[in-house]
Chain A
């Protein structure tokens, strides 16, 4: 168990090292980066909007419930701004992008591996790591922080709608509390988190795809491992980053 884990970690280290060398040695793939960024962003946006809306509404309802017992129903705006902007939005965006774009990266690259397309790239003297991984990493680095911002905005609007229409709170107070609570630094820290999560999701997913076992089952396993490992690593790093940034 531990041995397997260490072996995997070592393999991952080699993968990252080889990838870094490949990225530096070759010219930056500008056009493919734009393509990947567009694809990752457009693919993930609809589900992200749905999820953000419902996380926002849920935060309002739960915040209202929690503070009602303390007689502070009016604090909902503060709660939503704190919990939503600082914590929920970055980690939620990361999990959904890992589920959508990360699994897609893993399964695409795994299919290329088992259909020997990666070997074909090598034969054509194109570095497969540079060709496949670099544009995905640059693309997700551009897109994930932007998606996080969009998610923060959507979440706040949805929370506001629920606070006013379902919970009957004063809308202007809610906005004032959000504005008071959210500092510029919170938004910047959210972007820092998004940046780190983007690197983790892309490298982990591409690693599992690149080292996929043979066969249809292998592709399934690689995709499976990609989303679980990136979600767990993001959750753990999220704590460390929160401790570092807010602690």
Chain B
């Protein structure tokens, strides 16, 4: 128990250091851009490959209910609202954690094990500023961008399932798409994605930066990153949902 508290305190100290260096100059702009680019390309395909089938599933299950009431026109609003509010932010973030976060942890962990991080420290270079901050900021910026891609994937998935496979009318799908979607739904989705991105970046860099014990240690860091960040943001998601959408109904 005490050990766990110590761990949380340790994480807090690390997070404070990273956040402080994120808002003070000098920024490693090139490193940030290359991390952002790498993260975007690495995650784009996995994000699309999960949100699209889930959009299809949602259309499939939604149609079964709406067919009962003859209310097929409600399908695309359902797909759009659910995608923007929940599906895309959460799924895109799960995939960013699995693909991007775990690769951050693997890279930093391998650098720690091979004593590259110690070497940079010896050379008087701030390793958090050089190696951690660009990755953290890249996660914060890339997750909302991937959320955008994910929402498009979900909506196109719904279209494929409802219109192309189940023979609903394309016009009904597209013209009703925005009927129930409000700016708050989009905005809330992006608030979520940015928060989740920050959680992923911080957790991944923490576990990677303090990896110990050779190759098994790197494996453990990757494992912990995915589990801890996914669990944390699913918990945070409920509170964000209540705060962002609970009041507006």
Contact = CB atoms under 8 A, between A and B. Distances in A.
B234 to A, nearest CB: 5
A217 B106 contact: yes
B113 interface: yes
Interface residues of B, number: 59
B85 interface: yes
Contacts of B235: 50-51, 54
B245 A61 contact: yes
A246 B245 contact: no
Contacts of B137: none
Given A217-B110, A220-B105, A235-B53, A111 B61 contact: no
A99 B98 contact: yes
A82 B61 contact: yes
B238 A220 contact: no
B215 A215 contact: yes
Contacts of A47: 227, 231
Interface string B103-129: 101110110011000000000000000
Contacts of B231: 47, 50-51, 96
A110 to B, nearest CB: 6
Interface string B49-88: 1100110111011001100000000100010011001100
Nearest to B53: A239
A107 B223 contact: yes
B25 interface: no
A229 B127 CA distance: 31
Nearest to A221: B106
Nearest to A48: B231
B95 interface: yes
A87 B49 contact: no
B147 interface: no
B16 interface: no
Contacts, number: 172
A242 B57 contact: yes
Nearest to B249: A68
Given A95-B94, A111-B216, A242-B60, A232 B230 contact: no
A177 interface: no
Contact of B94 (A68, A218, A231): A231
B114 to A, nearest CB: 7
A148 interface: no
Contact of A62 (B85, B99, B110, B113): B85
B60 A246 contact: yes
A211 interface: no
Nearest to A217: B110
Given A54-B234, A99-B226, 18 more contacts: A47-B231, A62-B82, A62-B241, A96-B227, A99-B98, A103-B226, A103-B227, A107-B219, A107-B223, A111-B216, A219-B106, A220-B107, A220-B222, A224-B106, A228-B98, A228-B102, A238-B54, A239-B57
27 contacts: A51-B230, A58-B241, A61-B241, A62-B82, A65-B246, A65-B248, A82-B61, A83-B61, A87-B57, A95-B94, A99-B227, A100-B223, A100-B226, A107-B220, A115-B215, A216-B110, A216-B114, A216-B214, A217-B110, A219-B222, A220-B107, A224-B102, A231-B95, A232-B46, A235-B50, A236-B50, A242-B60
